[in-house]
Amino acid sequence: MGMDMGRPRTRRRTHMTFRRPDRQDGAVAVMAVGAIVILCGFCSLALDLSRVYNRKIELQSVVDAAAVSAAIELDGTKAGLTRAAQKAASLFAIPVVYGGPSYGYSQEAMEWSSDAIKFAATPNGPWLSSTDAASKTVPNGLLFVKIDTAGLDPSYGEVRTLFLPVISDGEPILSTSASAVAGASAVSVMPFAVCAMHGDEKHSRNGELEEFGFRRGVSYDLMQLNPEASGEGQTFLIHPYGGPGAASTSPVDFNTVAPSICTGVMGIARVMGGRVPVSSPFPLNDYHEQFNSRFDSYTAPCTADTAPPDRNIKQYKFNDGSVPWMAATAKGQASDLHEDTVNHKRWTVAGPYPSPPGTTAAQYGPLWSYAKAVKYADPAPTGGYVAYLTSNWKDLYTPGEPGAKSTYPSGTPYTTAGATYGESPSRTGVRDRRVLNVPLLACPVAENRATVKGIGRFFMTVKADGTHLYAEFAGLAEEQMLRTRVRLYP
């Protein structure tokens, strides 16, 4: 066949040629190593910064809690400053195992120092040390507190870093700190204001205490008073969120003002210490129903949850037998208006001393339904002003000399239980809800800006209507005692 079948076949071998790698191929490995080093560096730096951030958060939590707990105690008195400092210190006395202040991953305990606390009249300072604040004779207005870890052991804010010493010749320690400011954010004062009827805060009226021209136990129609002119009353609306120094925000709408009328609270820290934005006159016809929530009568936006009724809602009407303690039936719901054309003043017969000639007992209106007249003293007695007896009415209210019956209660009609003097609301009531804390302004008022001279306490004797707001004067209130909410400030 021409072929040798028995001879083995010869395999053809393929030779592969191997090429030596280029010298440049190793650069990838070098770059990879460098990238890993950089990434590790960034991770280490991120770890360092995160540890500093965590320490900052730890310190911030501590000062926030201390500031709020201290601010709650501030009431404008030296005792309040002391309590505030003690409250902050007591927080640091709590053992760590029970939630006391700590720092670091090992939860090291922290110690208090009085250098960490300061006080001010505004959330922006200027700040006074606890020693300087306590040295003030009357620390009125110091309603804000600042807690700063800069006043504590500096080691609390020190974090030993891991990566920074590698890339820097500096110290391997970073420091952080925290501070918090807390204070009043709302005050139990009405956005309704009237003029002070006299420039002096205290005045002796033949031995009786008269405050800014008002007499305790005497009722007034607050819509009808005016110390600057006769003929018409003068009233004002204060913006519920426009505190001293705030830009003028007038006019304001119903939805802004009505909730404050219901609750008797304005969303500002204080009304004294500067000029507040106002408008005049106060539109009572728009808001009288909100005033009446105190008598268990509700109109939107008032609700019993946010504006509970008074626990005694009895109206002391002058002409229906609701004032049984008066020997003479009153002529009206308040002391009679008196137009003083000589001094150009619109006040009542209870204003001049003595009362105008021809004044009768009936013209003084219902007396002492909530408050009693008190004896003048300056400074105020530690135990409070001394009240007169009803037997002194003949000396206090002349001419006219109204008298009280022997059945006048030992306290006051408002505080006396029983159907004669009291009436319970249909839902849970709160004592003294009928007391309105009304700003007393320095008049005349110019450029829609007013200075609040004081805050008068006025007890609503009856429900308000569209033109009348009858209330009995019950003395002055200290503004710092009226703050209702405390919050942290940025």
pLDDT in tens, 213-226: 999 999 999 999 99
**Residues 362, 407 contacting (CB under 8 angstroms):** no
pLDDT higher at 61 or 14: 61
Dihedral sign (CA 341, 343, 348, 352): negative
> Residue 2 carries which side chain, given as an amino acid letter?
G
Is 2 a residue whose pLDDT tops 50? no
CA–CA gap between residue 461 and residue 312 (Å, rounded):
11
Nearest 10 degrees: CA dihedral of 239, 185, 452, 379? 160
Q: Kind of pairing, strands 117-120 and 128-129?
A: antiparallel
Tens digit of each residue's pLDDT (9 = 90 or more) over 260-289: 999 999 999 889 888 899 999 999 999 999
Average pLDDT over residues 224-245: 90
| One-letter amino acid of 411 | G
pLDDT band of residue 31 (cuts 50, 70, 90) is low
pLDDT at 21: 56
pTM: 0.82
Model confidence band, residue 230 (pLDDT cutoffs 50, 70, 90): confident
pLDDT at 7: 53
- Point out which residues pair with 455 in neighbouring strands: 439, 477
478 pLDDT more than 80? yes
Residue 15 pLDDT greater than 60, yes or no: no
Q: Pick the residue with more confidence: 481 or 471?
A: 471
Give a three-class secondary structure readout of the chain: CCCCCCCCCCCCCCCCCCCCCCHHHHHHHHHHHHHHHHHHHHHHHHHHHHHHHHHHHHHHHHHHHHHHHHHCCCCCCHHHHHHHHHHHHHHHCCCHHHCCCEECCCCEECCCCHHHEEEECCCCCCCEEHHHHHHCCCCCCCCEEEEEHHHCCHHHHEEECCCHHHHCCCCCEEECCCEEEEEEEEECCCCEEEECCCCCCCEEECCEEEECCEECCCEEECCCCECCCCCCCCEEEECCCCCCCCCCCCCCCHHHHHHHHHHCCECCCCCCCCEEEEECCCCHHHHHHHHHHHHCCCCCCCCCCCCCCECCCCCCCCCCCCCCCECCCCCCCCCCEEEECCCCEEEECCCCCCCCCCCCHHHHCCCCCCCCCEECCCCCCCCCCCECCHHHHHHHCCCCCCCECCCCCCCCHHHCCCCCCCCCCCCCCECCCCEEEEEEECCCCECCEEEEEEEEEEEECCCCCCCCCEEEEEEEECHHHCEEEEEEEC
CA distance 102 to 109: 5
Counting every residue written for the chain, the total comes to 490
**Dist CA 62 CA 56 (whole Å):** 10
User: What pLDDT sits at residue 3?
Assistant: 47
How does pLDDT run across 51-71, given as a tens digit for each residue? 888 889 999 999 999 999 999
| Digit-coded pLDDT (tens) for 180-227 | 999 989 999 999 999 999 999 999 999 999 999 999 999 999 999 999
Q: Which of 185, 163, 145 is nearest to 63 (CA)?
A: 145
pLDDT the model gives residue 1: 44
Within the chain, what is the greatest distance between any pair of CA atoms? 165
Pairing label, strands 435-441, 192-195: parallel
Characterize 82-116 residue by residue with b for buried, 16 or more Cβ atoms within 10 angstroms of its Cβ, and e for exposed: ebbbebbbebbeeeeeeebbbbeeeeeebebeeeb
Q: What is the pLDDT of residues 119-147, one digit of tens each?
A: 998 898 899 999 999 887 667 678 899 99
Q: By the 8 A CB rule, do 148 and 179 touch?
A: yes
pLDDT exceeds 60 at position 159: yes
User: How many angstroms separate the Cα of 249 from the Cα of each of 65, 173, 243, 284?
Assistant: 34, 50, 11, 19
